[in-house]
Amino acid sequence: MKAQFDFTVDDLIDASERTLARSRVAQGWRSRGVWAAALFGGLVGWAARQDLLFAFFGAALCAVTQPFFAARARKARLLRYFRERLGGSGPFRCEVELTPEALVTTQAGVRTVREWPGVVAIVETGDAIEFHTRGAGSLVVRNRAFQSREEWKNFLDMARQYAKR
């Protein structure tokens, strides 16, 4: 069974963010970033007024705003990276094929074969079916790849059946 859809670098950024959100390593980076920002804000607050309350306010302000600014910076870096790698913003074609042996994708001129034992989870989200794989991150098959809800369900059921083998 095959599904295909067009994607853009914004879709790739979204898929990357989804994968990072599940990573304990990436969560650790984010946590350390918040603590570092809080320390910096506290030190600046203390240096500005030598007041513990002002230092606390500076630490809290930096800790609260850091995730927003870090996410914006990360997405901007990913945007530049994907545009460089793909030669533009898209759209690009993605074809996903379910075979008894593997999950096969073709995109940007590259064919990738993920054997079913390497698929650790198949997750339904509101806008996609996500295949979480060992080592290779994730594959996000957008709902727009399917003509109907029935076609989407058949694809999902077949993927789950193959993954159980």
More confident site: 163 or 165: 163
More confident site: 75 or 24: 75
**What is the average per-residue pLDDT within 61-76?**
93
Joined tokens for residue 53: 């309350």
Q: Is 112 left (phi over 0), alpha (psi -120 to 50) or beta?
A: beta
CA nearest 5: which of 123, 91, 110, 113? Answer: 91
pLDDT given for residue 65 in this prediction: 95
pLDDT given for residue 136 in this prediction: 67
**What is the average per-residue pLDDT within 81-90?**
89
CA nearest 12: which of 137, 158, 164, 111? Answer: 137
CA nearest 95: which of 109, 106, 103? Answer: 106
Least confident among 16-30, 37-51, 56-70: 16-30
* pLDDT above 70 as % of the chain: 99
Residue showing tokens 């997405």? 75
Tell whether the model's pLDDT for residue 34 goes beyond 90: yes
List pLDDT tens digits, range 93-147: 999 999 999 999 998 788 999 999 999 999 999 889 999 998 768 889 999 999 9
- Topology at the third CATH level for domain 2-8+91-164: PH-domain like (2.30.29)
Helix (H) or strand (E) run with residue 111 in it = strand 110-115
Residue showing tokens 């990360």? 74
Strand partners, 132: 121, 138
> Please, where in the chain does CATH 2.30.29.30 lie?
2-8+91-164
